[in-house]
C-alpha cells in the first residue's frame, strides 16, 4: 500500500514539474553573462551540477550512458518532449546549429521525457533531428531536478557544465552556448 502511495506521489510530482513546459523564460544580457562565467552552474533551485551521469535507451531500445559523450568532447544535452510546444519551437534552431557545429565535434544528446520511442522517432524524422535521441524517464528528471522542459545543458570537452538554459531559447542564445563549449 505504501509503495502504491509513494508511486502516486512521485507521479504527481513529475507531472507538476513538467507543467513548467509552457514557460517562455528570457534572461537579460547581464544575467546571461553572469551565468556564463559561473562554474559549476547552479540550476534554478541552487543544486550544483558539475557533470551528468545517466542511462537511457535510444529510440531503437539500445541502452546508452551519458559517459559515451560527456567528457569526450563538447556536448549539448537537451531535455525535451514531443508534447511540449516550447520544445517543438526550439528544435529548428537546434537542428540549424547542429548542422553548423557537428563538424567542429559538438554532439547533441536529446533526452525526451514522458514520451514513447515511436513518438520520438516519428517527430525526429519529420524535424531533421539527426543527433542522438534517448527516451528518458522520470528518474533522470528527478535526479537532475529538471523542473520543466525544455532544459539544455552545455558541457565542455572535459565534461564540465559551463551553461544551462531552462525554458525556450532561440538561435542566438543557443549559439552562445555552443561557442562556450568549443
- Flag the least confident range among 9-18, 25-34, 109-118, 141-150: 25-34
70-85 pLDDT tens trace: 999 999 999 999 999 9
Q: Please state at what angle helix 29-37 crosses helix 171-180, rounded to 10 degrees.
A: 20
Q: Is a pLDDT exceeding 50 seen at residue 110?
A: yes
pTM of the full predicted structure? Answer: 0.78
User: For residue 136, what are the domain limits?
Assistant: 2-180
Q: Please report, for the domain that includes residue 119, its CATH number.
A: 3.40.30.10
pLDDT for 137 equals 94
Q: Which residue has the cell 508511486?
A: 7
Q: Please state at what angle helix 171-180 crosses helix 85-101, rounded to 10 degrees.
A: 50
Q: Which residue has the cell 514531443?
A: 82
C-alpha dist (Å) from residue 125 to 7, 103, 119, 129, 131: 34, 21, 10, 7, 11
Q: Is a pLDDT exceeding 60 seen at residue 27?
A: no
Domain count, the chain: 1
Amino acid at each position: 500500500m505504501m509503495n502504491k502511495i509513494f508511486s502516486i506521489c512521485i507521479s504527481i510530482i513529475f507531472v507538476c514539474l513538467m507543467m513548467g513546459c509552457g514557460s517562455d523564460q528570457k534572461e537579460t544580457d547581464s544575467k546571461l553573462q553572469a551565468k556564463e562565467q559561473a562554474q559549476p552552474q547552479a540550476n534554478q533551485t541552487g543544486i550544483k551540477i558539475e557533470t551528468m551521469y545517466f542511462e537511457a535507451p535510444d529510440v531503437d531500445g539500445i541502452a546508452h550512458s551519458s559517459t559515451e559523450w560527456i567528457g569526450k568532447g563538447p556536448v549539448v544535452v537537451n531535455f525535451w518532449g514531443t508534447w511540449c510546444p516550447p520544445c517543438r519551437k526550439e528544435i529548428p534552431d537546434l537542428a540549424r546549429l547542429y548542422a553548423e557545429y557537428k563538424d567542429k565535434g559538438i554532439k547533441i544528446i536529446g533526452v525526451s521525457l514522458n514520451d514513447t520511442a515511436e513518438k520520438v522517432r516519428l517527430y525526429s524524422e519529420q524535424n531533421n533531428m539527426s543527433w542522438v535521441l534517448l527516451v528518458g524517464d522520470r528518474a533522470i528528471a528527478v535526479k537532475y531536478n529538471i523542473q520543466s522542459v525544455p532544459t539544455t545543458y552545455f558541457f565542455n570537452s572535459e565534461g564540465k557544465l559551463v551553461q544551462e538554459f531552462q525554458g525556450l531559447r532561440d538561435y542566438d542564445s543557443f549559439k552562445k552556448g555552443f561557442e562556450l563549449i568549443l
